[in-house]
Amino acid sequence: MKHFSLGCFVIIATWLASTATAQQVEGYELALADLRGHRTVLGTLPGTVFAPRVSPDGKSVAFELADLGADGKPAARRLYVAPIADLSQRRALPQVGSGNNWAAVWSTDGAHLAFLVNGDRPDTIFWRRADGRDEARPLTEGRAAEGIYAGDRTLSFLTLTTPGDYGIALMDLPTQTVTLRIDREGSAQHSARISPDGNWIAYSSDESGRQEVWLARLGRPELRYRITQDGGRHPLWSRDGSTLYFDQAGQMFRIELFLGAEVPKAGKPKGLPIRGFQQGDLRRQFDLMPDGKRFLMLFPRGAAAP
């Protein structure tokens, strides 16, 4: 799989711009927001926090922070793990190399993390224990890990061929066999999530000119179906696979799916009373708790709940 330094430069520049914006915020409240919009604040994190991901048992959260250089500007990003019950007990994982360690996802048993390392090497996805008590090992070149499934057998991750041209690939972890599943030339496919029954993959694509939510059959990715018509990003499955949650224009939505027929059908998107959370065009900044009823989200510190 090829690595393109120009594409990496563009994405790093985008990240630096978003980080600079984040630094203007004193910090973020990590909170749980239920489907009715009720918010429970868990604690505060620095303004450089990015991409919180909850562990499968709902007890821990992994995220990244930007260490600052001597000039006060963001240097390398570093991974942290903290108990959700007490964010002040966060611990930094040992750094791989001198570049960024970021974009972590949990293994299905909660014992390991897959994460991206770059800045001092080609974009490479690594694997290590979530407590950091081992030597991290490389899995594959790729832009970012997005999910681990099937009892830690399948890894979904991003590829990057030219600036802004992302694709979605799968790796069989026991054999390390990589298969490119979804890649539309000249557009970005990302934020992939495999359905609970393992038959479908939901993702974001901007091939229509703006980001929309799409579905594809996992075994036949050429069978693709556009689910949203008025914009949508960063889909997440409900626990029973009957609903997708996604964000659009600063608000969370849900859309009911009917997957029994040969061609899937979708209901009309319904807005949820959840707004004001931190989110941009690229990586998803929220996660769904294991109970499927609450979102783990970042809100600007001190922002009033609706």
pLDDT in tens, 140-156: 999 999 999 999 999 99
The pLDDT of residue 164 is: 81
The pLDDT of residue 74 is: 67
The pLDDT of residue 17 is: 38
Q: What is the pLDDT of residues 27-70, one digit of tens each?
A: 999 999 999 999 999 999 999 999 999 999 999 999 999 977 67
Do residues 96 and 117 lie in contact, with contact meaning Cβ atoms separated by under 8 Å?
yes
Two structure tokens written together for 175:
């054999």
Do residues 39 and 32 lie in contact, with contact meaning Cβ atoms separated by under 8 Å?
yes
Residues in the chain: 306
The pLDDT of residue 305 is: 61
The pLDDT of residue 16 is: 37
The pLDDT of residue 79 is: 97
The pLDDT of residue 282 is: 82
Two structure tokens written together for 185:
């030339």
Distance CA 149, CA 115 (A): 15
Q: Which of 197, 209, 108 is nearest to 153 (CA)?
A: 108
What single DSSP character describes residue 201? E
Strands 60-68 and 50-54, sheet pairing? antiparallel
The pLDDT of residue 262 is: 81
Which residue ranges of the chain lie beneath pLDDT 70?
1-25, 69, 72, 74, 303-306
The pLDDT of residue 180 is: 74
Question: Measured on CA atoms in the order 204, 50, 11, 132, is the torsion positive or negative?
Answer: negative
CATH numbers and ranges of domains, the chain: 1-148 (2.120.10.30), 184-288 (2.120.10.30)
The pLDDT of residue 306 is: 57
Two structure tokens written together for 243:
């609903």
Do residues 288 and 296 lie in contact, with contact meaning Cβ atoms separated by under 8 Å?
yes
